[in-house]
Amino acid sequence: AQSVAQPEDQVNVAEGNPLTVKCTYSVSGNPYLFWYVQYPNRGLQFLLKYITGDNLVKGSYGFEAEFNKSQTSFHLKKPSALVSDSALYFCAVRDPYSGNTGKLIFGQGTTLQVKP
C-alpha cells in the first residue's frame, strides 16, 4: 500500500538554529512528493513539491526539502528557524494510481515548535 510516514510527532528547535522535519514514503514507481504547512486554526498551505530533477527543492518561506531515493525520504529543512515557523507540517505523496485526479496521501503531521 502507498504510504507516508512522519516519525516525529513534535520537533523542538531554538530560534536561529537549523531545523529538519522528517518524512519517509513507500510508493510504487516515481514519487510525487509535497510538503504542506498548517498554522493554528487555518487550512493547509502548499510549501513545496518534488516531481523530478534536482534532489534539493526550494519552496516558500525559506524552506527546502531533500529527496533521497535510496533512503525513500523527503526531509523538510530550513537553515535558520523563526518563531513564526511554529506550525503543523504535513508530508504528502500523490496516489500513483490516481493519474491527475489530485488524490494525495498525507502523513500524520509533525508539530514544529520554535522557541525564542
Partner 1 sequence: NAGVTQTPKFQVLKTGQSMTLQCAQDMNHEYMSWYRQDPGMGLRLIHYSVGAGITDQGEVPNGYNVSRSTTEDFPLRLLSAAPSQTSVYFCASSYSGTQVDIQYFGAGTRLSVL
* 109 makes contact with partner 1 (CB under 8 A): yes
Least distance to partner 1, CB of residue 20, Å: 19
- At 71, list the grid cell: 533512503
**In angstroms, what CA-CA distances link 113 with 1, 39, 69, 88?**
31, 12, 28, 9
Site for partner 1 (CB under 8 A): which residue of 10, 17, 26, 45? 45
Least distance to partner 1, CB of residue 43, Å: 3
Instruction: Count Cβ atoms below 10 Å from residue 92 Cβ, excluding itself.
Output: 21
Closest to partner 1 by CB, 51 vs 83, is: 51
Q: SS3 for 85? A: helix
Site for partner 1 (CB under 8 A): which residue of 58, 108, 113, 115? 108
